Amino acid sequence: MQLTPQQLKHFDDEGYLFFPNCFGEDEIAVLRAEAEQIYRSDREEVWREKTGAPRTAFAAHTYNEAFRILGHHPRLVEPLQQYFGEGVYVHQFKINAKAAFEGDVWQWHQDYGTWARDDGMPEPRAMNIAVFLDEVYPINGALMIIPKSHKHGTLKAGHDKSTTSYPLWTLDQETVTRLCAEAATKDRPGIVAPTGKPGSVLMFHGNLVHASPPNITPYPRKIVYLTLCAVSNHITKFTRPEFIAHRDFTPIQPVADDALMAYARAHRVAAE
């Protein structure tokens, strides 16, 4: 999959791109089922909310074949190879959950702030690709982004280790208010919350400011986040566990476009 000139311009201007229905129902169904199995497992890579509900499962591509295929999928890898002009590797792989009634907040932050401070990533030549496994509604903890905020570089942040079960370099209210005011137009507020069916994909810049509220609804929300980094921009500090910040800088070789569908068919036959 290649990005058009119009898409590249939108990404540079706004800091994100949204692709509804990038993956089909059968492809997503097998990923969703295997994510649930991973959440039920007792692995060190699976982190939980203070209530015990799943919050995130790291590095699933290293121990689950379906997610390995997703991490090598051309619909996700090729646009980043195109954008960065070189090979990319997996810096981080997460299956984030917002469990029904129990999914907690993710505070306002920039991901590159963490990659730079904790992992020694030289430049923001990495970005997140979010794959919706459940339908994301405005009501069930949708990811909120501040358009154009990536243009401000890496912002001052404080290290919050207490609000949730996951430490974050977070932004203060004054900074978020200023960024929202600058991003607002006559047609929209300064915050956008992309929503859509399972299989939708959101790409966003490493410095784009984002957050998500708690999920107090009966509708769960699972999203896979792949962080793909330009190979020449690999991390230089190894302070976090390898399952959180990977140290294999081998360029990804994309699989066939139908690889996930083939896995889904085989999985369905085996189940029958």
Nearest residue to 24 via CA among 218, 255, 265, 269: 265
Predicted pLDDT of residue 162: 60
Cα gap 106→74, rounded to integer Å: 29
pTM of the model: 0.93
Q: Would you give the DSSP letter of residue 254? A: -
Predicted pLDDT of residue 166: 67
Indicate the number of domains in the chain. Answer: 1
Q: Would you give the DSSP letter of residue 251? A: P
Predicted pLDDT of residue 161: 65
Cα gap 57→46, rounded to integer Å: 4
CATH for 14: 2.60.120.620
pLDDT mean values, one per 10 residues, the chain (272 residues): 94 96 94 94 90 91 96 97 97 94 88 94 97 96 95 85 69 94 92 96 97 94 97 97 96 96 78 41
Task: Say whether 13 sits in a helix, a strand or coil.
Answer: helix
Predicted pLDDT of residue 23: 96
Q: Do residues 161 and 230 touch, judged by C-beta distance below 8 A?
A: no
What is the extent of the structural domain holding 154? 5-271
